[in-house]
Amino acid sequence: MNLAPNGSRPAARAYGGMLTAPHALAAQSGLGVLMDGGNAADAIIAVAASLAVLYPHMTGIGGDVFFLYYDAGRGEVVSYNGSGAAAAAATIEHYQERTLDAIPERGGAAVLTAPGAVDSWFALHERFGSIDMARILAPAIAFAHDGAPAARSFVAAVARLRDLLAADEGAADLYVEHGPRRVGERFVNRQLAATLRAIAQHGRAWLYEGEGAQHIERYCKRVSSPLRAADLAEHRGFFTTPAAGTFYGSTSITAPPNSQGIAALIAQQTYEAYASLPIHGSLADGSAARAHAGIEAIRLAFADRDACVGDPREPLSWERLLAGEHARALAQRIDPNASFVQSESGVDRGDTSYFACVDAAGNAVSFIQSLFHSFGAGVVVPELGFPLQNRGTAFELSLGRLRSLAPGKRPFHTLMPCMLLREKRPWLVYGSMGGEGQPQTALQISTRVACDEMDLQGAVEAPRWRYGKDPTDECARVRIEARLGAECVTGLRARGHIVEVVDDWDESMGHAGAIAIDRAQGLVTGAADPRGDGAALGV
């Protein structure tokens, strides 16, 4: 790997443990747990809980989780599906009786799946954790009770969504009446501090079977949500085998469906197959030729994803899509001089938090936690101090389709943690927030690191593109950071892409994080995205 820096900040390097998170204080909370004798599992839960306080527009107790965990002692990676299923009362008829032909994106009707975050924390802790949960949650409780400086992204989200938040009693009180208006302003959330304290003392049962569940049910009834305490009591995430492909000599892994992660694996393999064809010559980083190849690989991967990614119980053979023959066939469909016309993917939205940790023993975790849209459904349970997700809006209110709504069914999920393995051990732990942008960011970062051997921080900071639709778009377009340059923009437009140039450092490109492991030197290197408010910290 080329270690010459080419970004705005140096990578973090250490011989012990490493954390990367989209908020620096969250990274510090995880680092403190490592220094107190905790392992990667303990530290990542501390980060997750702290982000629920510090980045409440992006993530929290009311959302879902997917993670990959490498157990160094056993030499194996497991995946965890912490997504919540649709409530028993969340039927197509429930919405049709309310004259709705689609699930609303916001408000009580958008709250229809159980939140899986806290269940995921305890599942990870029970299987891999090493220190007491009260110690792990202590930093988050302190941030909530005493207050913490409001991050840039948080303040911007409150200002942008003030009308939405004002429409809900809990959200209005917490974020409009008492929310931050300036970056660095102290934000206190005593309700969330009490919630976290109760979880630390009584465990997951407090939220899923006890007082927390009762508070959620009472408020859900008030805002016309079908979610009830019985749905929380039924919730259990589950461990499973990661989805796996190949990429430039490495095994590339992510969470299997209902996660969209296989889109990244398909795109990686398609890009590599395309780039290997001599007729295409050099695909230099920053060139229109490389961006075009990546965009077309993503388009094709999204078509595969949309045909087969739904509830994990669906008997669909998605594994065949990860075979080399399929990638080579897709690569042959890419015209180097013209964009590929196909049905457009859905509206591209999503606010999420990605973070990762590697400890001194070599355990590694790639973790992603989300409310889906900013502040989820915009519904905050007043007594608990956190928003509820709107992930159920991925369901369709029509019968017989892959993503048709049904009680007990898990929705399509954009969340996707990533790792690259060599000799069955992780050497790159990485991911990003950003809805449909997640596989696109994964493709661009992994290509720069695995193919170009770029400095890790430089790979995260390098200018990115993102394909998809915003709510106001008539058709999908490619948004491209201005730093990629006029030549790249012109080359993409000449190939038929609809291109919109955005700011040099555009938050819509995601808050990526990555950790590289050099086992020969015992060195861990961490990178954090300046598009967020985060840091990579080593010990």
Q: Cα dihedral sign for 49, 52, 53, 58?
A: positive
Burial letters 438-476, b for 16+ CB under 10 A, else e: bbbbbbbbbbbbbbbebbbbbbbbbbbbbbbbeeeeeeb
Asked if 262 and 254 touch (Cβ cutoff 8 Å), the reply is yes
Two tokens, residue 538: 């080593």
**Number of C-beta neighbours around residue 102 at 10 A:** 11
Q: Is 352 a catalytic site residue?
A: yes
The reply to whether omega before 258 is within 30° of 0 (cis) is yes
Asked if 109 and 432 touch (Cβ cutoff 8 Å), the reply is no
Two tokens, residue 320: 């065949």
Burial letters 55-66, b for 16+ CB under 10 A, else e: bbbbbbbbbbbb
**Contacts for 221 with CB less than 8 Å, ≥ 6 apart:** none
Q: How far apart are CA 410 and CA 260, in angstroms?
A: 13
**Contacts for 383 with CB less than 8 Å, ≥ 6 apart:** 191, 215, 219
DSSP sequence for 401-453 = STTB--TTPPPPB----EEEEETTEEEEEEEE--TTHHHHHHHHHHIIIIIT-
Q: How many CA atoms lie within 13 A of 234 on its CB side?
A: 16
Asked if 292 and 484 touch (Cβ cutoff 8 Å), the reply is no
Angstrom distances, CA of residue 159 to CA of 11, 150, 314, 320, 350: 32, 12, 41, 46, 17
Asked if 467 and 298 touch (Cβ cutoff 8 Å), the reply is yes
β-pairing, 250-254 vs 186-187, is unpaired
β-pairing, 418-422 vs 250-254, is antiparallel
Which position among 20, 113, 254, 352 bears the catalytic label?
352
**Number of C-beta neighbours around residue 224 at 10 A:** 11
Two tokens, residue 177: 């009446």
Which one, of 281, 358, 290, 292, lies nearest residue 77 by Cα? Answer: 358
Report, as residue numbers or ranges, the catalytic residues: 352
